[in-house]
Structure 1
Amino acid sequence: MFKKGSMAVSTLVAAALFASSFATPAGAEDFGIKNSLFEKKKEQVLSVHQQLLEEGQIASAASSSVQATVAQSPTVTFTNEIDGYNYHEYLFDTKGGTFTVVPTHSALEEVDYFIYNVTTEEVFEPSEGEKYDLPAGTYYLTVLGYSEQPVNYQYQLSGPLTFIPDTDLPEINVTKPMQHDHRLPKGSSSKQLVEGTSDGLELFLQVNNKPDILPGGPFSKQVELHKGDNDLLFITENASSNKTWSFYNMTLPGTSRIGGKDRYEVSANVSKTLASYGYDSGTIFISRGDVFADALAGGPLASLETAPVMLTRTDSLTQEVKNQILAQHPYRAVILGGTGSVSTSVEAQLKQLGVRQIERIGGKDRYEVSAKIANELVPYTETDTAYIASGEVFADALSASSVAGIEGAPILLVRKDYVPDSVKTFIKNNPNIKNFVIVGGTATVTEKVSTQLKQLRSGATLDRLAGKDRYEVAVNVAKYGMDTLGMDLSTLVFARGDVFSDALSGSPLAADQWAPILLTRTDRVEDKVNTLLTEHHGETDHIFILGGTGSISTNTESQLSKHIQ
């Protein structure tokens, strides 16, 4: 049974609950994509299970399961129907031995399963075919769906069971919201009722990473939503500890301003916003706030680490950033830039705030820092692409930071007319980088750089995302992301285009939301941006605005809001 207030789902996984819980995206039938989705679903189950285990909420087999001792290896059949919005978990126990799992349903591509130990959370792989060598212990057979519509499944489990497991599942019937993906009308209240029934012992309800425990039976709970997507997770459990999970998303259309009195407070508030989405791995990135290069080059690595980027003065953290660090209590900080950018006194302040592990990615200049960040990134993402942007003007690197973060690709900074030696060395040492995307026109990165890149990597593909100005470049980067990465305009991040101060910490937010970063003037939306939004009118649900009204005015916010239907 669940204990009220005891369960806080792992924030690292909670941030991705809905990105990987639902059905396989259209056109994503590729085996690699499905395998990645399977791994993410598996991570979710284990993460939530770990929290239950730590709080003593996993009932023992002896006390919770159907007790019927067996003397041989019977075959038990688990059958039901499932879609991409649900998980099913069946508990069984053994004194050890070889088990066989045979799927006898036809929808083999739409359903999958895995087996893990309740106590250790070890996931067991088949030794051959569908045979599993399981030590003595209690296990879950967890069934995952991928399709939009329910499909039938049937798994036959054979092996030396301690007792006959229960094959029934508890049911959840959610009546509000009525659909798994539910978009509220624009202007709706942030307070919404969630209603339905469950026949489990209790119901675990999590809304935007905030858990609650409700009694079994009919339920009616008022929940607080934020603008944009809101993730709802329901889990119910029967007396045999079998579980049904069900995922819902409620979209509240509108704009969200992340402001502050200065760039440092804005970065703290971006971190706070990310944390509300469950985006917190225990790591933070720290970067100097009065120069742009290190923070923007570090955005993709921060996204990989599920870490926010917080800004600092060279010699001291501001009180607002300190307060957010105390609220978030990270164990690890990665400082971007050398001690000339972020001094050792900032390291000392971080330690005083309880940060136990401090790392630094430095270099003699911004170009070497970008190359060293890339060296940390590419071994994990195995990307074949690098984004190339000017190290002398911020706008193009900012526009690239969202797509680079989503793709797990580095942003390499270059001079206007040449590739710095440190960046050349990175490219030479990473032959897997075969595609270069230059962001910005020839006024910021000339064709001389293109020539050098081709010389550094024979046969490389080279693209340029340009425009008559930084606003059009950002639009073209967004279109590139839509064409190549499956991004859309459902969520957007807007930053002021003529100063970088508020935008530096926005890269992880944009990547987390799969949102393009678009640029605007303080007092009006640029024509090219308006044209893009008009062409896709009705597709946008949520717009983040980085900075206070001095950066992006209320009039500009009103113009943007009109593009939300």
Structure 2
Amino acid sequence: MYQAIQVIFLVGETFSENDILVVESLIPPQLLSFKGERDDTRKNIVYTILSVIICCSICFPIPTYSYAATAEYLYRISGNNRYETSAYLANEILFFPKKRTVIITSEENYPDALSAASIAGIYNAPILSTSSKELPTDISDLLRQEHINHVVIIGGSVAVSPQVGTKIKSLVPNVHRIAGKDRIDTAIQIYNNSKGAVSQNAILATSNNFADALSIAPYAFATKTPIFFTEPNKLPPSVKAIFQSGRFAQTFIVGGHNAVSTNVERELRKNRCRYNNKIKRQYAL
């Protein structure tokens, strides 16, 4: 496949410095032509250069390449189970040997893993899953890597048992746990443990399902935005108190009205402070 050289031919009386800067930002070669008969020499130079470029494009065509979306450009990361898959994903992040943090959550309690997205973003850390009663071999093998020097366990003793916590501490001495009395409170405790580093925005999603919070988790990770949970028809008092503090510039409600009702949205708007002046509703895809 061959492509002819593209040329942009500009005509005008004069060209200001700003015009030249704009023109130079264009990819094809540019030729400046001057309108009128005030300078035949310059016109002749332009026409000569144009003729040379056209001849070169005919005699020496430039090959171009197109890349199809084939399987050659697809890369799958997977393991024999969820633990091995999370370990493989973590190794992608932990490839460079520097001191790193990892987040560990229960495989059986999705809200903890989702609300951990913001703190994972703060540490630039992978989120690993574990059984509540036993630390999987794939995870323990990964924690033995020398450059892992800090582990954050998300969830209480029911989500990640003391036995698992003890095993983790035997592999990585610097371990601390963030937990609340339930999924809603755990999300608040994650925020309280990282409020100095999180963004000025907040995310509110239903605590009854994972899809909405899951769809926005990459955004929460990238922007360090805390995720809070609510009941579909009632904003929990502890969450309301967080929003009443005026800490957030914007609040993103994720999901439709069945997930987070207009009553909850109305409660947010009624109790917002002057700094919490923008509430947006985002629909998960």
TM over 0.5: yes
1:282 alignment counterpart: 100
* Equivalent in 234, 246, 251 of residue 436 of structure 1: 251
Letter in 1 for 2:160: V
1:309 alignment counterpart: 127
Shift of 1:280: 5.8
1:266 alignment counterpart: 85
Structure 1: tracts of 5 or more residues without a match: 1-182, 189-226, 228-252, 467-472, 475-565
After the TM superposition, which residues 373-388 of structure 1 pair with which residues of structure 2 at under 5 Å, given as runs?
A: 373-381=190-198, 383-388=199-204
How many angstroms apart in 2 are the aligned matches of 1:351 and 1:393?
Answer: 32
Change beyond 3 A, Cα 1:395–1:187: closer
Change beyond 3 A, Cα 1:445–1:347: same
How many angstroms apart in 1 are the aligned matches of 2:177 and 2:244?
Answer: 24
Alpha-carbon contact 2:152-2:178 (below 8 Å) kept: yes
Letter in 2 for 1:342: V
SS at match of 1:346: helix
Cα deviation 1:234-287 (Å, max 9, x = unaligned): xxxxxxxxxxxxxxxxxxx722212122222211111011123x4964211110
* Equivalent in 411, 426, 437 of residue 242 of structure 2: 426
Letter in 1 for 2:151: A
Cα deviation 1:8-29 (Å, max 9, x = unaligned): xxxxxxxxxxxxxxxxxxxxxx
Alpha-carbon contact 1:377-1:408 (below 8 Å) kept: no
SS at match of 1:350: helix
How many angstroms apart in 1 are the aligned matches of 2:84 and 2:210?
Answer: 20
Alpha-carbon contact 1:378-1:409 (below 8 Å) kept: no
Alpha-carbon contact 2:220-2:227 (below 8 Å) kept: yes
Shift of 1:328: 5.5
SS at match of 2:79: coil
After the TM superposition, which residues 10-159 of structure 1 pair with which residues of structure 2 at under 5 Å, given as runs?
A: none
Q: Does 1:408 align with 2:242?
A: no
Structure 2: tracts of 5 or more residues without a match: 1-64
User: Structure 1 stretches (4+) deviating beyond 4 angstroms?
Assistant: 183-188
Change beyond 3 A, Cα 1:302–1:398: same
Change beyond 3 A, Cα 1:184–1:322: farther
- Which structure's residues are more often helix, by fraction? 2
2:215 alignment counterpart: 399
How many angstroms apart in 1 are the aligned matches of 2:66 and 2:162?
Answer: 49
How many angstroms apart in 2 are the aligned matches of 1:317 and 1:351?
Answer: 11
Alpha-carbon contact 2:99-2:149 (below 8 Å) kept: no
Alpha-carbon contact 2:121-2:223 (below 8 Å) kept: no
* Equivalent in 464, 471, 488 of residue 281 of structure 2: 464
1:336 alignment counterpart: 154
After the TM superposition, which residues 166-565 of structure 1 pair with which residues of structure 2 at under 5 Å, given as runs?
A: 185=67, 254-276=73-95, 278=96, 281-327=99-145, 329-353=147-171, 355-381=172-198, 383-429=199-245, 431-459=246-274, 460-466=277-283, 473-474=284-285
SS at match of 1:307: coil
How many angstroms apart in 1 are the aligned matches of 2:147 and 2:223?
Answer: 28
Shift of 1:426: 2.3
Letter in 2 for 1:388: L
Letter in 2 for 1:407: T
Instruction: Report the TM-score, using the length of structure 2 for normalisation.
Output: 0.71
How many angstroms apart in 1 are the aligned matches of 2:147 and 2:99?
Answer: 11
How many angstroms apart in 2 are the aligned matches of 1:424 and 1:329?
Answer: 40
Shift of 1:425: 2.7
How many angstroms apart in 1 are the aligned matches of 2:99 and 2:242?
Answer: 28
Change beyond 3 A, Cα 1:184–1:284: farther
Count of matched residue positions in the alignment of Structure 1 and Structure 2 = 219
Shift of 1:299: 1.0
Change beyond 3 A, Cα 1:280–1:267: farther
SS at match of 2:177: strand
Shift of 1:352: 2.1
How many angstroms apart in 1 are the aligned matches of 2:77 and 2:235?
Answer: 36
Letter in 2 for 1:266: T
Shift of 1:185: 4.4
Alpha-carbon contact 2:98-2:147 (below 8 Å) kept: no
How many angstroms apart in 1 are the aligned matches of 2:250 and 2:226?
Answer: 11
SS at match of 1:345: helix
How many angstroms apart in 2 are the aligned matches of 1:307 and 1:328?
Answer: 15
Larger Cα-atom Rg = 2
Letter in 2 for 1:351: K
How many angstroms apart in 1 are the aligned matches of 2:263 and 2:128?
Answer: 35
- Which structure's residues are more often strand, by fraction? 1
Shift of 1:325: 1.4
How many angstroms apart in 1 are the aligned matches of 2:178 and 2:231?
Answer: 20
Change beyond 3 A, Cα 1:293–1:434: same
